Structure formats: structure tokens, C-alpha cells
Amino acid sequence: MTIQEGYTIWSETYDADTNRTRDLDAQITALVLGNRRFASILELGCGTGKNTALLATIGGTVRAVDFSEGMIARAKARISAPNVTFAAANIAEPWDALAESFDLVVCNLVLEHLEHLSPVFAEAHRALSQRGTFFLSELHPFRQYDGSVANFSQGGTATEIPAFLHNVSDFVTAAQGKGFAVQALQEWWHDDDAGQPPRLLSFLFTKGTVIEQIGASGDISKP
């Protein structure tokens, strides 16, 4: 089963499943971005639109893309905000976004499914305006070391979605190599994760070369 096929099947139950990673991601995205405002946002791998609803409230316009027709269909059914448009696109291929069209690019729980990080950072850099921001939230690689893989169960059958391991330094190196500075690097735990490795890793990258801040964590990120 390909990643694309897997997500289209999973789209039927993605929102209803118990999923601490999905829920924590929604929490931390609201915490990090909720008080900010952007003229134009590009969301990569929007899935069923879980974060698109928030982005619609903080962005003048939101362009949300995903390569799973099933996921996009769910997102369209969920979001009726007039400032949001959806498109089918594979972000591993060159993006059709116009250069410097967006001031925020958002990507949540997607890059574990891409083998190569550098092309995504190159395209995000091209798509962002000067001093634009790239917010990235991912399953923490420590969880992958422990065997966690995106997976779902339907009709008693468990299915794993193919994934690739990217270490923390891989994200930083790929981002800096394409002209981003690390503005914030944070690690996050769900309320039920006490004593376990962090569940999520998030970054705010800025187009530019100055390292402004590394390592600040919000209250809910502490184990």
C-alpha cells in the first residue's frame, strides 16, 4: 500500500480514532500560532482539515494542499470558510506556488512520510515572502526509535503507513542549508506521556540567517 492510498483509507476514520499525537498537535499549533496573524498561509498535508480551521482564523487567505483525495474531501466537507482554498498536490514534487506568495508555511505530521527533507525546505523558501515563517510539527524521532509509526485500525486490521526517520539535526541541517534560521525548537508531551520521550518536535523557522532563539517550551510541553 502506498502512503497516498493508506491515507485515503485512513481518512474514513482519522477524525474519530483515538490519537494522542493528532490531538497534541492541534493543541500546540494553537498555542504557537493562535495569537499571530498572517496575510497568506500555505498548509502542507492538510489532512482532514484539523488545523485548517485554526489557520482560517489567523490568516487572510489559506491555501491547503494534500495528495490524498480522501483527506482533501474530508477537509472540504469540514471547512466552509471563504478564505480557504484546497488543492491536490504532492509536496515531494516541485510546488506550483508562486515565489514569495505566502508569509507562513505550515506542515504538521507530514514530513515523516517524505524520504528527503531538503526539497521541501527549498520549495518552502521559494514560496515564502522575505522574513516569512515556516512552522513545522512532527512526530519526535525519539518515538520512532521506540518503534512508533503512523498507523490505524479498521475492521480489526492494523495498517502502518510507510515512514522515514529524520533526526532533530536532519531538520536543522536541511533548513539551514536552504536559507532558514531556527527561531524556536520545542519538544512536547501529551498529558498521558509522563516519563516517556517527547511525542512531538516543533520548529519555527524564519527566512534569514540569524539564530534568534532555541529551546523555549510552552507549559504543556513539560512531562
- Residue range at the interface with ligand SAM (CB under 6 A); choices 30-38, 109-117, 180-188, 198-206: 109-117
Backbone φ and ψ for 12, nearest 5 degrees, come out as -65, -30
Measured CA to CA, the distance from residue 59 to residue 57 in angstroms comes to 6
- Residue range at the interface with ligand SAM (CB under 6 A); choices 64-72, 140-148, 171-179, 192-200: 64-72
Say if CB 92 and CB 114 are below 8 A apart.
Answer: yes
Query: For residues 31 and 181, which CB has a smaller minimum distance to ligand SAM in the complex?
Result: 31
Place of cell 474531501: 73
Residue 3 binds to ligand SAM (criterion: CB under 6 A): yes
> Which one, of 157, 164, 104, 100, lies nearest residue 138 by Cα?
164
Binding mask 16-55 for ligand SAM (x = CB under 6 A): ------x--x-------------------xxx--xx----
Helix (H, G, I), strand (E, B) or coil at 69: helix
* CA angle centred on 25, ends 19 and 30, rounded to 5°: 135
Q: Which of 113, 125, 143, 207 binds ligand SAM (CB under 6 A)?
A: 113
Query: For residues 48 and 212, which CB has a smaller minimum distance to ligand SAM in the complex?
Result: 48
Site size for ligand SAM (CB under 6 A): 22
Measured CA to CA, the distance from residue 207 to residue 186 in angstroms comes to 18
Question: From the CB of 210, what's the least distance to ligand SAM, in Å?
Answer: 29
Cα-based distances in Å from 38 to 55, 112, 144, 204: 9, 26, 33, 14
Residue of minimal CB distance from ligand SAM? 47
Alpha helix (H) residue ranges in the chain = 3-10, 20-33, 52-58, 69-78, 118-127, 141-145, 168-177
Question: From the CB of 91, what's the least distance to ligand SAM, in Å?
Answer: 4
Question: From the CB of 46, what's the least distance to ligand SAM, in Å?
Answer: 6
- Residue range at the interface with ligand SAM (CB under 6 A); choices 87-95, 171-179, 190-198, 199-207: 87-95
> Which one, of 112, 88, 91, 116, lies nearest residue 162 by Cα?
112
Q: Which of 105, 136, 150, 185 binds ligand SAM (CB under 6 A)?
A: 150
Query: For residues 108 and 144, which CB has a smaller minimum distance to ligand SAM in the complex?
Result: 108
* CA angle centred on 35, ends 183 and 84, rounded to 5°: 100
Question: From the CB of 170, what's the least distance to ligand SAM, in Å?
Answer: 17
Residue numbers of the site for ligand SAM (CB under 6 A)? 3, 7, 22, 25, 45-47, 50-51, 66-68, 71, 90-92, 108-110, 113-114, 150
